[in-house]
Chains A and B, each alone.
Chain A
Amino acid sequence: DAGVTQSPTHLIKTRGQQVTLRCSPKSGHDTVSWYQQALGQGPQFIFQYYEEEERQRGNFPDRFSGHQFPNYSSELNVNALLLGDSALYLCASSRTEYEQYFGPGTRLTVT
């Protein structure tokens, strides 16, 4: 049983560019959450998708958007990248309200 997978593992972008990160949830999970984790910080909640709709959202600007597909996989899009967007982006999947399981993350560097 494959766990949560994310792609790519590493990414380097320049300021102003746009990026798309991808996540495939654990088998049987229907809910996907995205987090941003800066070095030395705890994960910061970006948003959560369930039934292809954004169900909850943290304190992130509209530059951060997402999508969930019928197969429960999800994308995180960030527009107009800033230096401060450099972080580890974590995807977590769960079965509705149960515990979350994390993917290995995508490390984004904005130069």
Chain B
Amino acid sequence: RKEVEQDPGPFNVPEGATVAFNCTYSNSASQSFFWYRQDCRKEPKLLMSVYSSGNEDGRFTAQLNRASQYISLLIRDSKLSDSATYLCVVKGSGAGNNRKLIWGLGTSLAVNP
């Protein structure tokens, strides 16, 4: 089983739709979780951290389910500019290499007019 798994998509949705992505992780001791966004041929950019209580930033909502070991990202009222690849990132606990970031392969989203 991969350490971090995402559905690669692509997700094709119309403008205004609500879309949700899930990401599962294998290490139950993982401590920190992030969603990054990456546009084609550009560098990843931090979209939001994921907190235990869930957090919202405008149209974006992130949630963590420790029992089932997954995080989710919900995008409401999709815009054309939301088209990108969304990368799930998990940070381990402990010392040394256990604390490195593990990246998913990303989920591709295309928002259509």
Contacts and interface: CB of A to CB of B under 8 A. Distances in A.
Interface in B40-75: 41-46, 49
Given A90-B43, A101-B46, A104-B42, A56 B106 contact: no
A111 to B, nearest CB: 20
Interface string A22-59: 00000000000101000011111100100000011110
Contacts of A35: 103
A99 B42 CA distance: 18
B17 interface: no
A42 B87 contact: yes
A88 B38 CA distance: 13
Interface residues of A, number: 23
B97 A102 contact: no
Contacts, number: 43
Interface in A84-99: 88, 90, 97, 99
A48 B91 CA distance: 14
Contacts of B34: 99
A73 B41 CA distance: 24
Contact of B43 (A44, A58, A102): A102
B42 A43 contact: no
Contact of A100 (B46, B99, B104): B46
A99 B32 CA distance: 10
A103 interface: yes
B96 interface: yes
Given A90-B44, A102-B43, A104-B42, A45 B100 contact: yes
Contacts of B87: 42-43
Contacts of A66: none
Interface of B: 34, 41-46, 49, 87, 96-97, 99-106
21 contacts: A33-B101, A42-B103, A42-B104, A42-B106, A43-B44, A43-B87, A44-B103, A45-B100, A45-B101, A45-B103, A48-B100, A56-B96, A56-B100, A58-B100, A90-B43, A97-B99, A99-B34, A102-B43, A102-B45, A103-B43, A105-B43
